[in-house]
């Protein structure tokens, strides 16, 4: 049935400022989009079933942008005409292929014998439908890595819809540990793990960062972190402790211009760049930990 929707529209100067505002507005939103316009100006649209923008939230938004080196150019809230958003989203989400994977919604079963690994993820359920360049970059990186070596213990931090954990379970035939700070995302990821037939392989926990993922000295040889540039930098220390010698980490959710500062944080932890995927200005980086003997992993 059609739903009443309110939309907060923000225009923010600076990529880091836009990312900070997006993280803030995403906390209470049912959906959020982020697009780069001309002159380093970014537009954000955050959707919710009720009004959200008040004086307190406006102050928080402007402070978040300023603290990240950006500035809010415009900020407003408007009521969106009643429409069947779910039906429209589904029509706009046809099956598509990414590397060795075919992503599709439950409303559109994949063609038979495509030669690709099918991933059933419904749009607008949680972050990570596979359409965003950062998620596509991670799927491409996973496909390339799986062709070159075997992985035994994968980990997905900030799993969102669970798409990367599910893809790893299907591609590697291994148990995958996943976590997200958002309880709703954890429920969604568990749901899609069941829908994709990998509930026994994908374990999803509600926890911030690496908390709860490291037990008894456990290390992971493949780690996904599809988040944002600043959180990626902040978790470099924890990731370096969680990654196994010779293991690799796939870092995404950052813009091409943010690569240098993210890489600097990981190089300081003795992780080296091993691969890069760039799609529409968004970068996915693969970094590798050295082996115990001090040599680089193959």
What is the average per-residue pLDDT within 181-208?
92
- What average pLDDT does the segment 38-55 reach? 88
Predicted confidence (pLDDT) per residue in 208-266, tens digit: 888 767 665 789 999 999 998 999 999 999 999 999 999 999 999 999 999 999 999 99
Rounded-to-integer distance, Cα 152 and Cα 175, Å: 8
Q: Is 235 exposed, middle or buried (0-12, 13-18, 19+ CB in 10 A)?
A: buried
- pLDDT given for residue 214 in this prediction: 67
pLDDT of residue 38: 75
pLDDT at 282 over 90: yes
293 pLDDT band, cuts 50/70/90, is low
Q: Is the overall model pTM greater than 0.85, yes or no?
A: no
CB atoms within 10 A of CB 175: 15
State residue 128's pLDDT score.
66
Express as a percent the part of the chain with pLDDT over 90: 61
pLDDT above 50 (res 296)? no
Amino acid 183: pLDDT: 85
- pLDDT tens-place string over residues 68-125: 999 999 999 999 876 555 555 555 567 888 989 999 887 777 666 678 999 998 865 5
The pLDDT, as a whole number, for residue 240 is: 95
Please give the pLDDT value at position 86: 57
* Domains in the chain: ranges and CATH: 3-83 (3.30.70.260), 133-289 (3.40.50.150)
pLDDT reported for residue 90 = 58
pLDDT score of 82: 64
Q: What is the pLDDT of residues 121-177, one digit of tens each?
A: 886 555 666 778 999 999 999 999 999 999 999 999 999 899 999 999 999 999 999
Q: Which pLDDT band holds residue 297 (cuts at 50, 70, 90)?
A: very low
**pLDDT at position 298, please?**
44
More confident residue, 275 or 216: 275
């Amino acid at each position: 049935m059609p739903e009443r929707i309110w939309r907060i529209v923000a225009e923010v100067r600076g990529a880091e400022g836009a990312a900070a505002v997006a993280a803030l507005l995403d906390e209470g939103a049912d959906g959020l989009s982020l697009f780069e316009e001309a002159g380093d100006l970014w537009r954000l649209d955050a959707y919710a079933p009720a009004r959200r923008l008040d004086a307190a939230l406006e102050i928080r938004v402007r402070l978040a942008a300023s603290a990240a080196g950006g500035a809010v150019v415009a900020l407003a809230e408007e009521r969106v005409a009643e429409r069947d958003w779910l039906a429209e989203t589904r029509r706009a989400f046809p099956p598509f292929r990414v590397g060795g994977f075919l992503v599709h919604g439950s409303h559109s079963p994949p063609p038979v014998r495509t030669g690709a690994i099918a991933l059933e993820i419904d749009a607008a359920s949680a972050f990570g439908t596979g359409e965003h360049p950062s998620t596509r970059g991670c799927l491409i990186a996973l496909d390339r890595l799986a062709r070159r070596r075997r992985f035994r213990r994968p980990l997905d931090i900030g799993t969102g819809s669970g798409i990367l954990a599910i893809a790893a379970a299907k591609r590697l035939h291994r148990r995958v540990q996943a976590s997200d700070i958002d309880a709703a995302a954890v429920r969604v990821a568990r749901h899609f793990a069941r829908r994709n037939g990998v509930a026994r392989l994908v374990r999803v926990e509600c926890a911030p960062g690496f908390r709860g993922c490291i037990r008894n000295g456990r290390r992971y040889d493949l780690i996904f972190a599809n988040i944002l540039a600043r959180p990626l930098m902040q978790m470099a220390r924890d990731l370096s402790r969680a990654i196994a010698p010779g293991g690799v980490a796939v870092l995404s959710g950052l813009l091409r211009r943010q690569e240098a500062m993210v890489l600097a944080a990981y190089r300081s932890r003795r992780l080296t760049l091993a691969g890069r995927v760039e799609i529409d200005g968004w970068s996915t980086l693969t970094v590798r930990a050295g082996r115990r003997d001090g040599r680089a992993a193959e």
